[in-house]
Amino acid sequence: MFLLKLLARNAFRHRLRTLLTILGITIAILAFGLLQAVVSAWYAGVNASSSARLVSRNAVSLVFSLPVSYRDRIRHIEGVAAVSYANWFGGVYVTEKNFFPNFAIEPKSYLDLYPEFVLPPDEKQAFILDRKGCVVGKKLAERFGWKIGDTIPLKGTIYPGVWEFVVRGIYTGAEKSTDESQFFFQWDYLNETLKKTVARRANQIGVYIIGLKDPKAAAEVAAAVDATFKNSLAETLTETEKAFQLSFVSMTEAIVVAIRIVSFVVIIIIMVDVANTMAMTARERIGEYAIFKAMGFQAHHIAGMVFGESLFITTTGGCLGILLTYPVAKKFGELMGNFFPVFQVERSTVYMDLLFCLIVGIIAGIFPTWRAIRIKVADGLRRVG
């Protein structure tokens, strides 16, 4: 306790300079934490992927569909436990600004394959029985004020027209990383309408979701699925759910890399800031260090004072930055919920913050410590006053 009091008093001899340094560290750590949270949000879908699921799509491109007849053939492949399917609908609510993911799915098998979407049994049953029913995430429902029984019109972009759905369920996420901003409705409703309007687009599937009996056999099952439809009019590309999600992230990889670089540049700026403060402090206290040496203090005593003060400043600023990261990230997540449905500060980010504070504090104290230790008593005393 006495040591901390001594370090605090030394650090705050020049209060304005120290406070500005701590403020700079706080802002930098806050910026670093937010940037890392953005990167984590970018990979939210990847991190939430299950190793027990495969995704099969058209080998040419995701834009092209697959026949619904593939379902039964996939189901009979060795290692497959369950099969479901989904179509990206691409509908908008009122205006294009109100974007959210919306899919046409086979309700029972899809929800069974995604236990992370928690839906009360009565709501699940109501959704299955209502051809025009839909299930929405909790965050999405709160965003637009939807409740059970509301009629939701979506304007189709891929499938033209105005489509009306009745909210039959509101799901919650089993974990914090679960996306609660999605919209699901029955594929049969879409398909039956297409049969009446654009028959050539009916009986087509966007992707198949395949549940595995053994996640370790993912590669073998994926190869078996693709081999089954090799040389057909619609060949498949089957991959793990994680690989499927990564294919979307890779499209914007340059942005992610840029964000990572900026976040680490912020840390370098902290280092320069603290190093400058400690260099000024050491220069001002050369006379004091000389007196300490004359009194019999050893090099490790002086090094402890310099490093201790440096670590005190970086740790104080770092802790303040970490404490501010959570409320700021929460507010940022609310404002940017349309783009980042899952936005949270990972525990690993906090560990990195603390590690960087320690590293910056140590590096910033190296040169001042070296200078203080090497100063001769006579040379140092000449500078007193």
Beta bridge partners of 54: 210, 240
- Determine the average pLDDT of the residues in 195-202: 89
pLDDT of 1 over the 60 cut: no
Q: Using 50, 70 and 90 to split pLDDT, how confident is the model at 112? A: very high
- Residue 161 sits at the vertex; the CA angle it makes with 158 and 163, to the nearest 5 degrees, is 95
- Determine the average pLDDT of the residues in 321-330: 89
Full-model pTM: 0.76
Residues 183-192 have pLDDT tens digits of 999 999 999 9
Buried b (16+ CB within 10 A) or exposed e, 337-376: beebbbbbbbeebbebbeebbeebbeebbeebbeebeebe
pLDDT of 317 over the 60 cut: yes
For residues 47 and 82, the model is more confident at: 82
Buried b (16+ CB within 10 A) or exposed e, 103-117: bbbbbebbbebbeeb
DSSP structure class, residue 283: H
Q: Please give the structure tokens belonging to residue 194.
A: 């297409």
Amino acid at position 183, single letter: F
E strands present in 187-317: 204-205, 207-212, 236-240
| 241/209 Cα distance (integer angstroms) | 8
| 276/313 Cα distance (integer angstroms) | 12
Select from 160, 161, 138 the least CA-distant residue to 148: 138
**Least confident window among 41-55, 86-100, 183-197, 332-346:** 332-346
Residues 262-312 have pLDDT tens digits of 888 887 887 777 777 777 776 666 666 666 667 766 766 777 777 777 888
- CA dihedral of residues 61, 66, 71, 72 (deg, nearest 10): -120
Residues 258-274 have pLDDT tens digits of 888 888 888 788 777 77
Q: Using 50, 70 and 90 to split pLDDT, how confident is the model at 94? A: confident
Select from 276, 279, 293 the least CA-distant residue to 380: 293
E strands present in the chain: 53-58, 66-67, 80-88, 102-105, 117-118, 133-137, 151-156, 161-173, 183-186, 204-205, 207-212, 236-240
Q: Residue 64: its pLDDT value, please?
A: 92
Tell how strand 161-173 and strand 133-137 pair up. parallel
| 133/122 Cα distance (integer angstroms) | 13
Residue-averaged pLDDT of the chain: 85
Q: Residue 6: its pLDDT value, please?
A: 65
**Least confident window among 154-168, 199-213, 241-255:** 241-255
pLDDT of 136 over the 70 cut: yes
Q: Residue 2: its pLDDT value, please?
A: 58
Quickly count helices (H) and strands (E) in the chain: 15, 12
- Determine the average pLDDT of the residues in 4-10: 68
Residues 170-184 have pLDDT tens digits of 999 888 878 899 999
Q: Residue 98: its pLDDT value, please?
A: 83
DSSP structure class, residue 101: -
Quick one: three-class SS letters along 151-194? EEEEEECCCCEEEEEEEEEEEEECCCCCCCCCEEEEHHHHHHHH
Select from 345, 348, 354, 340 the least CA-distant residue to 327: 345
